[in-house]
Structure 1
Amino acid sequence: MADTQFDVIILGGGPGGYVAAIRAAQLGMKTAVVEREHLGGICLNWGCIPTKALLRSSEINHLLHNLDAYGFAADNIRFDLGKIVKRSRAVAKQLSDGVRFLMKKNKVTVFDGQGKLAGRGKLSVTKDGKPVAELTAPHIILATGARARVLPGLEPDGKLVWTYREAMVPTGMPKRLIVIGSGAIGAEFASFYLNLRAEVTLVEVMDRILPVEDAEISAFVLKSFQKQGMKVLTGAKVQGLRKAADSVTAIIEAGGKVQEIVADRVISAVGIVGNVEDIGLEGTGVKVDRTHVVVDEYSRTGEKGVYAIGDLTGPPWLAHKASHEGVICVEAIAGRNPHPLDISVIPGCTYCRPQVASVGLTEAAAKEKGHEVRVGRFPFIGNGKAIAMGEPEGIIKTVFDAKTGELLGAHMAGPEVTEMIQGYTIAKTMETTEAELMETVFPHPTISEAMHEAVLDAYGQVIHI
């Protein structure tokens, strides 16, 4: 019979839970993970990773239809949607299996089932309603993640109205698609289907797409989406959906006018809610605020010995935030003295085309906080590598404190900016000023040189524009 006494039990095996488990094991703690579905969680199985595989396929389709620009020609370009989806699922399975191997390697016990707090230091595990085990530990970490928000009238039905899950495994290619919500998930799916040559309408209730990004970046991406043929409606509210046998009509109010748009499918990507139900929070000191568990800087809840990390605790809803929180939480439990998580140094990435990446404050947010700012910008049209790649559409924007030279924020749109944002993230983590960034030598020819130029521009020293 499996051992049921542990030092730490983690409920949820996503990027927060499994990373916390590995770190706990490294620190000598006897550790268990309870996971009801797939190790790796939503991110690895139904989010971050498989969507990147899909987007890679759609990017290749885009390139194939633009071969002439590179001196090539090809006839009868076509794709097999089933194979695209199959590759995406295979990538997810490979990585999920990898997490299972890491659990075994680090001697973390994995319980397959639904976990629920069952009193001080206790967690019950059931599978299909039947008891599996009663586990005990002085420290229990909740890492149950979040799920898609459902709005009245826009309820997913799995056939005509999709969440991200159905959108990732389509059985057929929709010719006309409406995507509701232009955050990271909505923008990525809109881009994916657009690059597979579907007619896409992106609907956003706020006054601009990618509303958490800097306003200039949002405007840049909007222009790019429209240039690619996407229809974008901002300040728009979906009043309702009218379903037919194999199509949906969306009634949308925008700019004081109501219009009806017919599509084959609708994707609802209007945010997420925390998975706080059925995990035994009733009667505990754990406080829930708008579907998210309230925690302190070390992920402690109001109940002694109970912690919460990742999407369950609120924004930013990012896998790397969850992983880092898990490490901090476990190190604090182990009696170490980890630095609390600093939200301002967590980068955000959106993998649409063009890609979007940012860290820190937007220009507007910096001004709202009372900073006098210096702003630098550099377009990719002034970058040799971007032009040589045939990807001259991009921009980098930097925001500095005018008095201290502190890098307050950096915002990027263009090819591979999701790989480049980490340079600014390191700079912020090390509390670098403009002086160090200006003196840093960037390799030539690289797109990253645009990062250097965006700093130089903030101080009137830009070279290539």
Structure 2
Amino acid sequence: MADTYDLVILGSGPGGYVAAIRASQLGLKVAIVERERLGGICLNWGCIPTKALLRTSEIYHYMQNAESYGLKADNVGFDLAKVVDRSRKVAGQLNAGVKGLMKKNKVTVVEGVGTVTATGKLSVKQGDKTVELEAKNIIVATGARARDLPFAKADGKTIWTYRHAMVPTEMPTKLLVIGSGAIGVEFASFYNDMGADVTIVEMLPRILPVEDEEVSAFMDKALTKQGIKLLTGTGLEGLAPSGTGVTAKIKHKDGKVVEETFSHAIVAIGIVPNTENIGLEALGVETDRGHIKTDGYGRTNVEGIWAIGDVTGAPWLAHKASHEGIIAVEKIAGGSPHQMDKANIPGCTYSRPQVASVGMTEAKAKEAGYELKVGKFPFIGNGKAIALGEAEGFVKTVFDAKTGELLGAHMVGAEVTELIQGYVVARQLETTEAELMETVFAHPTLSEMMHESVLGAYGRSIHY
């Protein structure tokens, strides 16, 4: 006989486990099915452990540049095994935290490989045993995996995906990073700061192609100054293990194909949604290039089947998945949540320097037909940034000249991944330039640059 619930969630990543907690808060009887580890890719193999690695490389960078702060640090080095161990312990701590949250909120955790067998029915294989679950509603939150190159599957030895790059057993000497999105740039930043010779190959004309063009241009100069070799508008026509690592066939802008050998390569060319073999095809759930099609509440075209997170398409971000989970559950419970507004989802890249943004780029706003007011303020004009020794970067704001609506905000520099939330809140509250100008920002803080950028859009900047 099947175990019966109000809601069963397939996948326990930041979408699934957050949805489970909210459902329990709303009085629903909930079960969550997970085939690997609670917390999903983000917590165990993505967002969190990579930030632990990047924190290590950031500190290592400061140690190597201690003299600029009047300090001495001789014979600076690192133990790669301990660096990786720290990252894994951080992930382990949070995994345990999610287990505790499931217990606290009385969420039943079912370990195993889940398959939706019919509307309201889910089968979970646990080795030789199968558990049957029933629920009026099922949320699919199975996430995504790294996309392989069609001509070079990652082997974990010299050709890596992000999972391999997080647990290296040896330090790359000469590293090729394929793709310059957030994942590629973060790993390039980490390994460069740890001493590797890094090259990034990007097919599109600029790195971080989804970001504002000025941000991309700034990052190009900043990473090049750090010693990273950037090859934009460049294709990869071959990648194969060699006796000394991997040999890449790189097609440059002029059409010339050059062979170059690297010790390792990281493939960061996107993701593939985990929608195969979980029963969706038989039920007729509509997909688009593998991603499940949903409305603003997470509903699919099949009654009682919902989907959230990476399986539903871009942006592939943990915080988007979590919010989708809450919206879906509140709708299931009979509430009236607002539909997901993807325009208010911030994007962050935790490289050195950091990048953060929300809303439209200047180019996209112009394409949409807006008349613009654009403000920009440099880190060099901010006292806190100078005191920190982090005077490179800028904050850019894009406004509708007619209404004062904040259309977008774009930042590059130290700690901008923390600062961006101010503009996210402003957009959520539909704040105009008038309220932002009248807001008092603490001094001395990096956040003052946010104020100055707004003022600058209207010719009122004080310190620039």
Shorter-chain TM-score bucket reads over 0.9
Give the structure 2 partner of residue 127 of structure 1.
126
Give the structure 2 partner of residue 114 of structure 1.
113
1:283, distance to aligned residue in structure 2 (A): 2.0
* TM alignment of 1:356-367, pairs within 5 A: 356-367=355-366
1:282, distance to aligned residue in structure 2 (A): 2.2
Give the structure 2 partner of residue 218 of structure 1.
216
1:305, distance to aligned residue in structure 2 (A): 0.4
Give the structure 1 partner of residue 178 of structure 2.
180
Counterpart selection for 2:191 from 186, 190, 193 = 193
For 2:382 and 2:259, how far apart are their aligned partners in 1? 43
Q: Secondary structure at the match of 1:283?
A: helix
Listed as ranges, the gaps of 5+ residues in structure 1 are: none
Q: Secondary structure at the match of 2:283?
A: coil
1:23, distance to aligned residue in structure 2 (A): 0.3
Residue range with higher mean Cα deviation, 233-242 or 39-48:
233-242
* TM alignment of 1:344-423, pairs within 5 A: 344-423=343-422
Say whether residues 1:245 and 2:247 are aligned partners.
Answer: no
Give the structure 2 partner of residue 235 of structure 1.
233
1:201, distance to aligned residue in structure 2 (A): 0.1
Counterpart selection for 2:153 from 155, 166, 170 = 155
Residues 251 and 258 of structure 1 are in contact (CA less than 8 Å); yes or no, is this contact kept in structure 2? yes
- Displacement over 4 Å in runs of 4+: none
1:285, distance to aligned residue in structure 2 (A): 2.8
* TM alignment of 1:267-286, pairs within 5 A: 267-286=266-285
1:243, distance to aligned residue in structure 2 (A): 2.0
Identity %: 64
One-letter code of the match for 1:224?
Answer: A
One-letter code of the match for 1:91?
Answer: V
For 2:244 and 2:27, how far apart are their aligned partners in 1? 56
Residues 152 and 240 of structure 2 are in contact (CA less than 8 Å); yes or no, is this contact kept in structure 1? no
1:120, distance to aligned residue in structure 2 (A): 2.0
For 2:225 and 2:191, how far apart are their aligned partners in 1? 15
1:255, distance to aligned residue in structure 2 (A): 1.3
Give the structure 2 partner of residue 429 of structure 1.
428
For 2:260 and 2:197, how far apart are their aligned partners in 1? 12
For 1:352 and 1:240, how far apart are their aligned partners in 2? 27
1:151, distance to aligned residue in structure 2 (A): 2.1
1:249, distance to aligned residue in structure 2 (A): 1.5
Q: Secondary structure at the match of 2:230?
A: strand
Residues 154 and 268 of structure 1 are in contact (CA less than 8 Å); yes or no, is this contact kept in structure 2? no
1:106, distance to aligned residue in structure 2 (A): 0.3
Give the structure 2 partner of residue 11 of structure 1.
10
For 2:240 and 2:23, how far apart are their aligned partners in 1? 51
Residues 167 and 267 of structure 1 are in contact (CA less than 8 Å); yes or no, is this contact kept in structure 2? yes
Q: Secondary structure at the match of 1:155?
A: coil
Q: Secondary structure at the match of 1:239?
A: strand
1:347, distance to aligned residue in structure 2 (A): 0.4
Deviations 1:293-326 (A, max 9, x none): 0011111111110000000000000000000000
1:153, distance to aligned residue in structure 2 (A): 1.5
For 1:462 and 1:258, how far apart are their aligned partners in 2? 49
* Number of aligned residue pairs: 463
* TM alignment of 1:73-88, pairs within 5 A: 73-88=72-87
1:354, distance to aligned residue in structure 2 (A): 0.4
Q: Secondary structure at the match of 1:378?
A: strand
1:291, distance to aligned residue in structure 2 (A): 1.2
Q: CA RMSD in A?
A: 0.9
Give the structure 2 partner of residue 340 of structure 1.
339
Residues 114 and 124 of structure 2 are in contact (CA less than 8 Å); yes or no, is this contact kept in structure 1? yes
1:258, distance to aligned residue in structure 2 (A): 2.0
Residues 285 and 301 of structure 1 are in contact (CA less than 8 Å); yes or no, is this contact kept in structure 2? no
For 1:179 and 1:308, how far apart are their aligned partners in 2? 32
Deviations 1:339-358 (A, max 9, x none): 00101110000000000000
Give the structure 2 partner of residue 322 of structure 1.
321
Residues 124 and 132 of structure 2 are in contact (CA less than 8 Å); yes or no, is this contact kept in structure 1? yes
Residues 9 and 140 of structure 1 are in contact (CA less than 8 Å); yes or no, is this contact kept in structure 2? yes
1:127, distance to aligned residue in structure 2 (A): 2.2
Give the structure 2 partner of residue 463 of structure 1.
462
